[in-house]
Amino acid sequence: MPNLVILGAQWGDEGKGKITDYLAKESDMVVRYQGGDNAGHTVVIGDQKYKLHLIPSGILYGNVPCIIGNGVVLNPKSLIEEIKYLEDLGISLDSLMISDRAHIIFPYHIEIDRLEEEARGKKKIGTTVKGIGPCYRDKVERTGIRICDFEYLDSFEEKLRYNIRRKNDFLTKYYEADPLDEDKIVKEYIGYLNKLKKYIVNTQPIIRKAVNEGKKVLFEGAQGTLLDIDFGTYPYVTSSHPISGGIPIGTGLSPYDLEKSLGVVKAYTTRVGKGPFPTELHDETGDYIREKGFEYGTTTGRPRRCGWLDIVMLNYSRDINGLTTMAITKLDTLSGLDKLKICVAYELEGKKIDYFPSSLETLSKCKPVYIEMDGWKFEDIEKANTYEELPENAKKYVEKMEELTGINAGIVSVGPKRSETFIREKLFI
Ligand code: GDP
Ligand code: IMO
Ligand code: MG
Protein backbone atom coordinates (compact mmCIF):
# COMPACT_ATOMS: atom_id res chain seq x y z
CA MET A 1 0.00 0.00 0.00
CA PRO A 2 2.09 2.90 -1.15
CA ASN A 3 -0.28 5.67 -0.11
CA LEU A 4 0.93 8.72 1.76
CA VAL A 5 -0.80 11.26 3.98
CA ILE A 6 0.46 14.85 3.77
CA LEU A 7 -0.96 17.12 6.42
CA GLY A 8 -0.28 20.25 8.40
CA ALA A 9 1.23 19.52 11.82
CA GLN A 10 0.68 23.03 13.21
CA TRP A 11 -1.88 25.80 12.57
CA GLY A 12 -1.94 25.61 8.77
CA ASP A 13 0.20 27.22 6.05
CA GLU A 14 3.10 24.90 6.74
CA GLY A 15 3.78 24.46 3.02
CA LYS A 16 1.49 21.49 2.31
CA GLY A 17 0.90 22.73 -1.24
CA LYS A 18 4.59 22.86 -2.04
CA ILE A 19 5.28 19.40 -0.58
CA THR A 20 2.22 17.82 -2.23
CA ASP A 21 3.20 19.28 -5.59
CA TYR A 22 6.74 17.97 -5.15
CA LEU A 23 5.61 14.42 -4.34
CA ALA A 24 2.74 14.40 -6.85
CA LYS A 25 5.30 13.93 -9.62
CA GLU A 26 5.76 10.33 -8.50
CA SER A 27 2.15 9.69 -7.56
CA ASP A 28 -0.89 8.22 -9.35
CA MET A 29 -3.59 10.24 -7.58
CA VAL A 30 -3.96 13.20 -5.21
CA VAL A 31 -7.01 13.51 -2.96
CA ARG A 32 -8.29 16.40 -0.81
CA TYR A 33 -10.39 15.06 2.07
CA GLN A 34 -11.68 18.07 4.06
CA GLY A 35 -11.97 21.84 4.28
CA GLY A 36 -12.96 24.10 1.45
CA ASP A 37 -11.79 27.29 -0.17
CA ASN A 38 -10.62 28.53 3.23
CA ALA A 39 -7.39 26.74 2.28
CA GLY A 40 -4.71 28.56 0.36
CA HIS A 41 -1.91 26.39 -1.00
CA THR A 42 0.90 28.10 -2.87
CA VAL A 43 3.07 26.24 -5.33
CA VAL A 44 5.98 27.94 -7.07
CA ILE A 45 7.31 26.49 -10.31
CA GLY A 46 10.12 28.49 -11.87
CA ASP A 47 8.95 32.10 -11.78
CA GLN A 48 5.26 31.19 -11.73
CA LYS A 49 3.28 31.20 -8.49
CA TYR A 50 0.06 29.15 -8.35
CA LYS A 51 -2.48 29.72 -5.59
CA LEU A 52 -4.82 26.81 -5.03
CA HIS A 53 -7.81 26.71 -2.72
CA LEU A 54 -9.96 23.70 -3.57
CA ILE A 55 -8.09 21.87 -6.29
CA PRO A 56 -5.41 19.39 -5.15
CA SER A 57 -1.86 20.58 -5.76
CA GLY A 58 -1.15 17.58 -8.04
CA ILE A 59 -3.15 19.32 -10.79
CA LEU A 60 -0.07 21.17 -12.00
CA TYR A 61 1.32 17.97 -13.58
CA GLY A 62 -1.69 17.78 -15.92
CA ASN A 63 -2.16 14.02 -15.90
CA VAL A 64 -2.34 13.03 -12.22
CA PRO A 65 -5.97 12.31 -11.24
CA CYS A 66 -6.95 14.92 -8.65
CA ILE A 67 -9.96 14.30 -6.45
CA ILE A 68 -12.01 16.65 -4.32
CA GLY A 69 -13.33 14.15 -1.78
CA ASN A 70 -16.68 13.89 -0.06
CA GLY A 71 -15.33 15.48 3.14
CA VAL A 72 -14.77 18.80 1.36
CA VAL A 73 -17.34 21.60 1.42
CA LEU A 74 -17.47 23.03 -2.05
CA ASN A 75 -18.20 26.57 -3.16
CA PRO A 76 -19.05 26.03 -6.85
CA LYS A 77 -18.58 29.68 -7.73
CA SER A 78 -15.10 29.79 -6.30
CA LEU A 79 -14.21 26.44 -7.88
CA ILE A 80 -15.23 27.76 -11.30
CA GLU A 81 -13.01 30.80 -10.73
CA GLU A 82 -10.12 28.54 -9.71
CA ILE A 83 -10.59 26.36 -12.80
CA LYS A 84 -10.59 29.47 -15.01
CA TYR A 85 -7.50 30.84 -13.24
CA LEU A 86 -5.62 27.59 -13.90
CA GLU A 87 -6.85 27.26 -17.47
CA ASP A 88 -5.66 30.79 -18.18
CA LEU A 89 -2.24 29.69 -16.97
CA GLY A 90 -2.31 26.77 -19.40
CA ILE A 91 -3.07 24.03 -16.85
CA SER A 92 -5.27 21.15 -17.95
CA LEU A 93 -8.19 20.32 -15.66
CA ASP A 94 -9.02 17.05 -17.41
CA SER A 95 -7.86 14.99 -14.45
CA LEU A 96 -10.10 16.74 -11.89
CA MET A 97 -12.92 14.81 -10.17
CA ILE A 98 -15.40 16.08 -7.60
CA SER A 99 -17.20 13.79 -5.18
CA ASP A 100 -20.96 13.81 -5.61
CA ARG A 101 -21.23 13.44 -1.82
CA ALA A 102 -19.51 16.75 -1.07
CA HIS A 103 -21.70 19.43 0.49
CA ILE A 104 -22.31 22.72 -1.29
CA ILE A 105 -21.56 26.15 0.17
CA PHE A 106 -24.32 28.65 -0.68
CA PRO A 107 -24.39 32.45 -0.21
CA TYR A 108 -26.40 32.09 3.00
CA HIS A 109 -23.49 30.18 4.57
CA ILE A 110 -21.13 33.01 3.76
CA GLU A 111 -23.55 35.66 4.99
CA ILE A 112 -24.10 33.80 8.26
CA ASP A 113 -20.33 33.34 8.71
CA ARG A 114 -19.85 37.10 8.27
CA LEU A 115 -22.66 38.16 10.60
CA GLU A 116 -21.68 35.67 13.29
CA GLU A 117 -18.09 36.85 13.23
CA GLU A 118 -19.29 40.46 13.53
CA ALA A 119 -21.57 39.54 16.42
CA ARG A 120 -18.76 37.77 18.30
CA GLY A 121 -16.98 41.12 18.62
CA LYS A 122 -13.77 40.65 20.61
CA LYS A 123 -14.38 36.90 20.75
CA LYS A 124 -14.34 36.49 16.99
CA ILE A 125 -12.63 33.38 15.63
CA GLY A 126 -11.07 35.22 12.72
CA THR A 127 -12.59 32.88 10.12
CA THR A 128 -11.85 33.25 6.44
CA VAL A 129 -15.56 34.19 5.98
CA LYS A 130 -15.96 31.55 3.30
CA GLY A 131 -19.03 29.98 4.92
CA ILE A 132 -17.12 26.89 6.02
CA GLY A 133 -18.51 26.57 9.57
CA PRO A 134 -22.16 27.22 8.61
CA CYS A 135 -21.95 24.68 5.76
CA TYR A 136 -20.50 21.93 7.97
CA ARG A 137 -23.11 22.84 10.57
CA ASP A 138 -25.90 22.20 8.03
CA LYS A 139 -24.24 18.92 7.08
CA VAL A 140 -24.31 17.71 10.68
CA GLU A 141 -27.79 19.14 11.20
CA ARG A 142 -28.90 17.13 8.12
CA THR A 143 -30.18 20.13 6.20
CA GLY A 144 -27.20 20.45 3.87
CA ILE A 145 -27.39 20.06 0.11
CA ARG A 146 -24.99 17.67 -1.57
CA ILE A 147 -23.71 17.71 -5.11
CA CYS A 148 -25.55 14.45 -5.92
CA ASP A 149 -28.84 16.24 -5.10
CA PHE A 150 -28.33 18.15 -8.34
CA GLU A 151 -29.04 14.96 -10.32
CA TYR A 152 -32.72 15.50 -9.51
CA LEU A 153 -33.22 19.09 -10.48
CA ASP A 154 -36.78 19.53 -9.17
CA SER A 155 -36.05 18.29 -5.70
CA PHE A 156 -32.70 20.14 -5.70
CA GLU A 157 -34.55 23.38 -6.39
CA GLU A 158 -37.14 22.57 -3.78
CA LYS A 159 -34.47 21.89 -1.11
CA LEU A 160 -32.55 25.00 -2.02
CA ARG A 161 -35.62 27.25 -1.96
CA TYR A 162 -36.65 25.81 1.40
CA ASN A 163 -33.18 26.44 2.82
CA ILE A 164 -32.99 29.99 1.48
CA ARG A 165 -36.36 30.82 3.03
CA ARG A 166 -35.36 29.32 6.35
CA LYS A 167 -32.06 31.16 6.35
CA ASN A 168 -33.71 34.41 5.27
CA ASP A 169 -36.06 34.07 8.20
CA PHE A 170 -33.05 33.76 10.49
CA LEU A 171 -31.07 36.54 8.80
CA THR A 172 -33.90 39.05 8.86
CA LYS A 173 -35.35 38.26 12.28
CA TYR A 174 -32.21 37.56 14.26
CA TYR A 175 -29.68 39.82 12.55
CA GLU A 176 -32.13 42.30 10.99
CA ALA A 177 -30.15 41.80 7.79
CA ASP A 178 -31.49 42.05 4.24
CA PRO A 179 -32.94 38.82 2.85
CA LEU A 180 -31.04 37.03 0.09
CA ASP A 181 -32.58 36.94 -3.39
CA GLU A 182 -34.06 33.42 -3.68
CA ASP A 183 -34.64 33.35 -7.45
CA LYS A 184 -31.21 34.79 -8.20
CA ILE A 185 -29.41 32.18 -6.05
CA VAL A 186 -31.37 29.27 -7.53
CA LYS A 187 -30.65 30.40 -11.07
CA GLU A 188 -26.97 31.11 -10.40
CA TYR A 189 -26.30 27.81 -8.63
CA ILE A 190 -28.04 25.72 -11.29
CA GLY A 191 -25.74 27.48 -13.77
CA TYR A 192 -22.61 26.78 -11.72
CA LEU A 193 -23.43 23.12 -11.16
CA ASN A 194 -24.18 22.63 -14.84
CA LYS A 195 -20.72 24.00 -15.59
CA LEU A 196 -19.13 21.58 -13.12
CA LYS A 197 -21.16 18.55 -14.21
CA LYS A 198 -18.37 16.96 -16.22
CA TYR A 199 -16.16 16.71 -13.12
CA ILE A 200 -18.78 15.21 -10.80
CA VAL A 201 -18.54 11.52 -9.99
CA ASN A 202 -18.88 9.04 -7.15
CA THR A 203 -15.24 9.21 -6.09
CA GLN A 204 -15.29 6.54 -3.38
CA PRO A 205 -15.00 3.50 -5.72
CA ILE A 206 -12.35 5.31 -7.76
CA ILE A 207 -10.15 5.91 -4.72
CA ARG A 208 -10.84 2.37 -3.48
CA LYS A 209 -9.77 0.88 -6.81
CA ALA A 210 -6.58 2.92 -6.89
CA VAL A 211 -5.66 1.79 -3.37
CA ASN A 212 -6.53 -1.85 -4.10
CA GLU A 213 -4.36 -1.77 -7.20
CA GLY A 214 -1.43 -0.53 -5.14
CA LYS A 215 -1.40 2.87 -6.83
CA LYS A 216 0.52 5.70 -5.20
CA VAL A 217 -2.18 7.85 -3.65
CA LEU A 218 -1.43 11.13 -1.89
CA PHE A 219 -3.87 12.66 0.57
CA GLU A 220 -3.47 16.43 0.74
CA GLY A 221 -4.65 17.94 4.01
CA ALA A 222 -5.88 21.48 4.30
CA GLN A 223 -5.53 23.64 7.43
CA GLY A 224 -3.55 21.99 10.24
CA THR A 225 -3.81 19.67 13.25
CA LEU A 226 -4.28 22.49 15.75
CA LEU A 227 -7.24 23.73 13.70
CA ASP A 228 -8.98 20.34 13.94
CA ILE A 229 -12.51 20.62 15.31
CA ASP A 230 -11.84 17.99 18.01
CA PHE A 231 -8.13 18.21 18.72
CA GLY A 232 -7.38 21.84 17.87
CA THR A 233 -7.60 24.93 20.02
CA TYR A 234 -11.41 24.85 20.12
CA PRO A 235 -13.32 27.08 19.41
CA TYR A 236 -10.52 28.82 17.48
CA VAL A 237 -10.47 26.06 14.89
CA THR A 238 -11.97 25.20 11.55
CA SER A 239 -15.06 22.98 11.29
CA SER A 240 -13.49 19.86 9.78
CA HIS A 241 -10.87 17.19 10.51
CA PRO A 242 -7.51 18.07 8.96
CA ILE A 243 -5.91 15.21 10.95
CA SER A 244 -5.21 11.78 9.45
CA GLY A 245 -8.40 10.52 11.12
CA GLY A 246 -10.28 12.79 8.70
CA ILE A 247 -9.12 10.77 5.71
CA PRO A 248 -11.34 7.68 6.00
CA ILE A 249 -14.35 9.90 6.60
CA GLY A 250 -13.49 12.35 3.87
CA THR A 251 -12.73 9.75 1.19
CA GLY A 252 -14.57 6.52 2.00
CA LEU A 253 -11.42 4.50 2.65
CA SER A 254 -10.98 2.50 5.81
CA PRO A 255 -8.49 3.56 8.53
CA TYR A 256 -6.51 0.40 7.74
CA ASP A 257 -5.78 1.67 4.25
CA LEU A 258 -3.49 4.43 5.44
CA GLU A 259 0.17 3.83 5.62
CA LYS A 260 2.71 6.61 5.98
CA SER A 261 1.88 9.95 7.45
CA LEU A 262 4.04 12.95 6.56
CA GLY A 263 3.63 15.95 8.82
CA VAL A 264 4.50 19.22 7.17
CA VAL A 265 6.19 21.32 9.84
CA LYS A 266 7.32 24.89 9.52
CA ALA A 267 10.71 25.39 11.20
CA TYR A 268 8.90 27.91 13.44
CA THR A 269 5.20 28.47 14.15
CA THR A 270 2.57 30.70 12.54
CA ARG A 271 -1.13 31.16 12.99
CA VAL A 272 -3.79 33.24 11.22
CA GLY A 273 -6.91 34.20 13.13
CA LYS A 274 -7.46 34.35 16.86
CA GLY A 275 -6.75 31.99 19.74
CA PRO A 276 -3.90 31.19 22.15
CA PHE A 277 -0.39 30.71 20.80
CA PRO A 278 2.15 29.97 23.57
CA THR A 279 5.34 30.71 21.59
CA GLU A 280 4.05 33.81 19.79
CA LEU A 281 6.60 36.61 19.40
CA HIS A 282 5.35 40.16 19.80
CA ASP A 283 8.76 41.70 19.19
CA GLU A 284 11.10 42.51 16.31
CA THR A 285 12.07 38.82 15.95
CA GLY A 286 8.41 38.06 15.18
CA ASP A 287 8.38 40.89 12.64
CA TYR A 288 11.66 39.64 11.14
CA ILE A 289 10.20 36.15 10.63
CA ARG A 290 6.98 37.58 9.15
CA GLU A 291 8.82 39.73 6.61
CA LYS A 292 11.55 37.21 5.78
CA GLY A 293 9.11 34.33 5.43
CA PHE A 294 6.48 36.53 3.76
CA GLU A 295 3.97 35.35 6.32
CA TYR A 296 0.77 36.79 4.87
CA GLY A 297 -2.33 34.63 4.25
CA THR A 298 -2.75 33.11 0.78
CA THR A 299 -6.54 33.29 1.05
CA THR A 300 -7.17 36.46 3.05
CA GLY A 301 -3.87 38.36 2.84
CA ARG A 302 -3.88 38.78 6.64
CA PRO A 303 -0.49 39.02 8.39
CA ARG A 304 0.25 35.73 10.11
CA ARG A 305 1.17 35.70 13.79
CA CYS A 306 4.71 34.29 14.17
CA GLY A 307 6.57 32.51 16.96
CA TRP A 308 9.20 29.93 17.84
CA LEU A 309 8.89 26.23 17.12
CA ASP A 310 6.76 24.43 19.71
CA ILE A 311 7.72 20.80 20.36
CA VAL A 312 4.94 20.21 22.90
CA MET A 313 2.44 20.97 20.16
CA LEU A 314 4.41 19.05 17.54
CA ASN A 315 4.58 15.89 19.65
CA TYR A 316 0.84 16.17 20.26
CA SER A 317 0.38 16.43 16.51
CA ARG A 318 2.73 13.45 15.96
CA ASP A 319 0.62 11.29 18.27
CA ILE A 320 -2.76 12.32 16.88
CA ASN A 321 -1.74 11.79 13.27
CA GLY A 322 0.61 8.84 13.68
CA LEU A 323 3.29 10.88 11.93
CA THR A 324 6.01 8.69 10.50
CA THR A 325 8.04 11.45 8.85
CA MET A 326 8.38 15.24 8.83
CA ALA A 327 8.78 17.65 5.96
CA ILE A 328 10.48 20.64 7.56
CA THR A 329 9.77 23.79 5.57
CA LYS A 330 10.98 27.38 5.59
CA LEU A 331 14.28 26.63 7.28
CA ASP A 332 15.68 29.49 5.17
CA THR A 333 13.39 31.98 6.94
CA LEU A 334 15.31 31.53 10.19
CA SER A 335 18.61 32.48 8.50
CA GLY A 336 20.25 35.60 9.84
CA LEU A 337 19.02 35.20 13.41
CA ASP A 338 21.86 34.92 15.94
CA LYS A 339 20.03 32.67 18.37
CA LEU A 340 17.00 30.43 17.83
CA LYS A 341 14.66 29.12 20.47
CA ILE A 342 12.71 25.88 20.60
CA CYS A 343 9.96 25.35 23.14
CA VAL A 344 10.47 21.91 24.75
CA ALA A 345 7.92 22.07 27.60
CA TYR A 346 5.38 24.41 29.16
CA GLU A 347 5.48 25.83 32.63
CA LEU A 348 2.03 25.74 34.20
CA GLU A 349 1.58 27.26 37.64
CA GLY A 350 5.18 26.56 38.60
CA LYS A 351 5.25 23.00 37.21
CA LYS A 352 6.76 21.73 33.97
CA ILE A 353 4.33 19.90 31.68
CA ASP A 354 4.93 18.19 28.35
CA TYR A 355 1.33 17.70 27.16
CA PHE A 356 -0.93 20.03 25.20
CA PRO A 357 -3.83 21.09 27.46
CA SER A 358 -7.45 20.77 26.31
CA SER A 359 -8.72 23.92 27.99
CA LEU A 360 -7.84 27.22 26.37
CA GLU A 361 -7.81 28.88 29.77
CA THR A 362 -5.10 26.42 30.85
CA LEU A 363 -3.22 26.80 27.58
CA SER A 364 -3.16 30.56 27.91
CA LYS A 365 -1.53 30.18 31.34
CA CYS A 366 1.26 28.03 29.87
CA LYS A 367 4.66 29.67 29.54
CA PRO A 368 7.09 28.13 27.06
CA VAL A 369 10.29 26.57 28.38
CA TYR A 370 12.95 27.14 25.75
CA ILE A 371 16.26 25.70 24.72
CA GLU A 372 18.52 27.93 22.67
CA MET A 373 20.39 27.06 19.48
CA ASP A 374 22.93 28.98 17.39
CA GLY A 375 21.77 30.46 14.09
CA TRP A 376 23.35 30.62 10.61
CA LYS A 377 23.74 33.05 7.72
CA PHE A 378 21.32 33.22 4.80
CA GLU A 379 24.08 33.11 2.17
CA ASP A 380 25.20 29.74 3.52
CA ILE A 381 21.75 28.23 3.08
CA GLU A 382 21.44 29.69 -0.43
CA LYS A 383 24.70 28.07 -1.48
CA ALA A 384 23.61 24.57 -0.46
CA ASN A 385 22.58 22.17 -3.21
CA THR A 386 22.19 19.19 -0.93
CA TYR A 387 21.21 18.69 2.70
CA GLU A 388 24.83 17.92 3.54
CA GLU A 389 25.89 21.32 2.20
CA LEU A 390 23.62 23.21 4.58
CA PRO A 391 25.33 25.28 7.30
CA GLU A 392 26.29 23.11 10.29
CA ASN A 393 23.95 24.99 12.62
CA ALA A 394 20.99 24.55 10.25
CA LYS A 395 21.63 20.79 10.21
CA LYS A 396 21.93 20.83 14.00
CA TYR A 397 18.54 22.54 14.19
CA VAL A 398 16.94 19.88 11.96
CA GLU A 399 18.60 17.10 13.92
CA LYS A 400 17.42 18.64 17.19
CA MET A 401 13.87 18.59 15.81
CA GLU A 402 14.33 14.91 14.99
CA GLU A 403 15.70 14.18 18.43
CA LEU A 404 12.90 16.01 20.25
CA THR A 405 10.10 14.41 18.22
CA GLY A 406 11.61 11.00 17.52
CA ILE A 407 10.67 11.33 13.83
CA ASN A 408 12.95 11.72 10.83
CA ALA A 409 12.93 14.79 8.66
CA GLY A 410 12.40 12.99 5.35
CA ILE A 411 12.19 16.31 3.52
CA VAL A 412 13.87 19.64 4.25
CA SER A 413 12.71 22.67 2.31
CA VAL A 414 14.75 25.85 2.03
CA GLY A 415 12.71 27.91 -0.43
CA PRO A 416 9.34 27.99 -2.18
CA LYS A 417 10.55 26.38 -5.43
CA ARG A 418 10.56 22.70 -6.33
CA SER A 419 14.32 22.88 -6.69
CA GLU A 420 14.73 24.14 -3.12
CA THR A 421 13.81 20.78 -1.61
CA PHE A 422 16.13 18.16 -0.12
CA ILE A 423 14.86 14.59 0.06
CA ARG A 424 16.46 12.56 2.82
CA GLU A 425 14.16 9.55 2.86
CA LYS A 426 12.30 7.66 0.15
CA LEU A 427 8.66 8.28 0.95
CA PHE A 428 6.92 6.02 -1.52
CA ILE A 429 7.64 2.32 -1.32
P1 GDP B 1 -0.06 25.58 2.82
O2 GDP B 1 -1.38 26.21 3.09
O3 GDP B 1 0.34 24.65 3.90
O4 GDP B 1 0.02 24.96 1.46
O5 GDP B 1 1.01 26.78 2.87
P6 GDP B 1 0.85 28.22 2.16
O7 GDP B 1 1.04 28.05 0.71
O8 GDP B 1 -0.37 28.90 2.62
O9 GDP B 1 2.04 29.00 2.84
C10 GDP B 1 3.37 28.57 2.71
C11 GDP B 1 4.15 29.68 1.97
O12 GDP B 1 5.53 29.43 2.09
C13 GDP B 1 3.88 29.72 0.47
O14 GDP B 1 3.99 31.05 0.05
C15 GDP B 1 5.00 28.86 -0.12
O16 GDP B 1 5.34 29.24 -1.44
C17 GDP B 1 6.12 29.19 0.82
N18 GDP B 1 7.10 28.13 1.07
C19 GDP B 1 6.90 26.78 1.14
N20 GDP B 1 8.05 26.16 1.50
C21 GDP B 1 8.97 27.15 1.66
C22 GDP B 1 10.34 27.17 2.08
O23 GDP B 1 10.95 26.15 2.39
N24 GDP B 1 10.95 28.39 2.16
C25 GDP B 1 10.30 29.55 1.86
N26 GDP B 1 10.95 30.69 1.96
N27 GDP B 1 9.03 29.58 1.46
C28 GDP B 1 8.36 28.39 1.39
P1 IMO C 1 -4.32 26.12 4.69
O2 IMO C 1 -4.89 24.88 4.05
C3 IMO C 1 -4.32 28.76 8.15
C4 IMO C 1 -8.16 29.41 10.14
C5 IMO C 1 -8.80 30.77 10.07
C6 IMO C 1 -9.49 30.81 11.42
C7 IMO C 1 -9.97 29.37 11.59
C8 IMO C 1 -11.42 29.15 11.19
O9 IMO C 1 -3.90 27.15 3.72
O10 IMO C 1 -3.28 25.76 5.69
P11 IMO C 1 -12.64 28.96 8.83
O12 IMO C 1 -12.78 29.96 7.72
O13 IMO C 1 -11.99 27.69 8.44
O14 IMO C 1 -13.94 28.73 9.58
O15 IMO C 1 -11.67 29.69 9.91
O16 IMO C 1 -9.13 28.58 10.78
N17 IMO C 1 -7.84 28.80 8.83
C18 IMO C 1 -6.60 28.66 8.36
N19 IMO C 1 -5.42 29.08 8.87
N20 IMO C 1 -4.36 28.07 7.00
C21 IMO C 1 -5.53 27.60 6.50
O22 IMO C 1 -5.58 26.76 5.44
C23 IMO C 1 -6.73 27.94 7.16
N24 IMO C 1 -8.04 27.69 6.93
C25 IMO C 1 -8.70 28.20 7.97
O26 IMO C 1 -7.83 31.78 9.95
O27 IMO C 1 -8.56 31.06 12.43
MG1 MG D 1 -2.19 28.13 3.29
Instruction: Report the CATH number that the domain containing residue 154 is assigned in CATH.
Output: 1.10.300.10
Strand residue runs (E) in 158-285 = 200-201, 217-220, 260-266, 269-271
Helix (H, G, I), strand (E, B) or coil at 215: coil
The confidence band for 80, taking pLDDT boundaries of 50, 70 and 90, is: very high
Evaluate whether residue 347 is within a structural domain: yes
Q: What is the mean pLDDT of residues 191-206?
A: 98
224 shares a domain with 77: yes
The residue from 13, 37, 228, 310 that is catalytic is 13
Residue 379: predicted pLDDT: 82
Q: What's the mean pLDDT in 266-294? A: 96
CB 324 within 8 Å of CB 262:
yes
Q: What is the CATH number of the domain that holds 282?
A: 3.90.170.10
Q: What is the pLDDT of residue 259?
A: 86
Query: 357 and 284, same structural domain?
Result: yes
Residues having CB within 6 Å of any atom of ligand 1: 8, 12-18, 40-42, 44, 293, 298, 329-330, 332-333, 413-416
pLDDT, mean over the chain: 96
pLDDT at 297: 87
395 and 272 part of one domain = yes
Say whether both 70 and 214 belong to one domain.
yes
Beta strands in 267-362 (DSSP E): 269-271, 305-307, 309-310, 325-329, 339-348, 351-353
Q: Is residue 341 part of a domain?
A: yes
Residues 281 and 400 in one domain: yes
Q: Are residues 163 and 36 in the same domain?
A: no
Q: Which of 272, 274, 295 to mutate to test the pocket of ligand 2 (most atoms within 8 A of CB)?
A: 272
Domain count for the chain: 3
Q: Which of 188, 190, 166, 191 is nearest to 179 (CA)?
A: 166
Question: CA-CA distance, 299 to 35, in Å (whole number)?
Answer: 13
Domain assignment present for residue 122? The answer is yes
CB 9 within 8 A of CB 225: yes
Overall average pLDDT of the 403-419 stretch: 96
CA of 298 to the centre of ligand 3 (A): 6
Nearest to 286 by CA among 271, 264, 302: 271
Q: 355 falls in which pLDDT band (50, 70, 90)?
A: very high
Instruction: pLDDT band for 380, please (50, 70, 90 cuts).
Output: confident
Same domain, 112 and 219: no
Q: From ligand 1's centre to the CA of 186, what distance in Å? A: 38
Shared-domain flag, residues 120 and 256: no
Query: Which of 55, 326, 330 to mutate to test ligand 1, by most ligand atoms within 8 A of the CB atom?
Result: 330
Residue 428 lies in a domain: no
Question: For 131-157, what is the mean pLDDT?
Answer: 98
Residues 83 and 222 occupy one common structural domain: yes
Which atom of ligand 1 is closest in space to residue 421's alpha carbon? 23
Residue nearest to atom 11 of ligand 2 (CA): 127
CA distance 337 to 149: 55
Q: What is the mean pLDDT of residues 278-285?
A: 97
Could you tell me the residue range of the domain that residue 237 belongs to? 4-99+199-260
282 is catalytic: no
What's residue 123's pLDDT? 93
Q: Which is nearest to 272 in space by CA: 7, 10, 88?
A: 10
Q: Is residue 316 part of a domain?
A: no
3-state secondary structure of 413: strand
Q: Are residues 307 and 345 in the same domain?
A: yes
**The pLDDT of residue 429 is above 70:** no
- Span 43-65, pLDDT tens digits: 999 999 999 999 999 999 989 99
Last residue of a domain, one of 180, 196, 212: 196
> How far apart, in whole angstroms, are the C-alpha atoms of residue 265 and residue 275?
19
CATH number for the domain that contains residue 12: 3.40.440.10
Last residue of a domain, one of 150, 165, 196: 196
Is 41 one of the catalytic residues? Answer: yes
Same structural domain for residues 294 and 372? yes
Residue 1: pLDDT band by 50, 70, 90 thresholds? low
Q: Which residues have C-beta atoms less than 6 Å from ligand 2?
A: 8, 12-13, 38-41, 125-128, 130, 132-133, 222-224, 227, 236, 238-239, 272-273, 298
pLDDT at 165 over 70: yes
Q: Assign 331 a pLDDT band (cuts: 50, 70, 90).
A: very high
**Is 44 inside a domain boundary?**
yes
Last residue in a domain, options 142, 162, 196 = 196
In a domain, 46, yes or no: yes
Q: Is residue 285 in some structural domain?
A: yes
CA distance 114 to 267: 33
Residues 391 and 378 occupy one common structural domain: yes
Rg, C-alpha atoms of the chain: 22
Catalytic member of 21, 28, 41, 310:
41
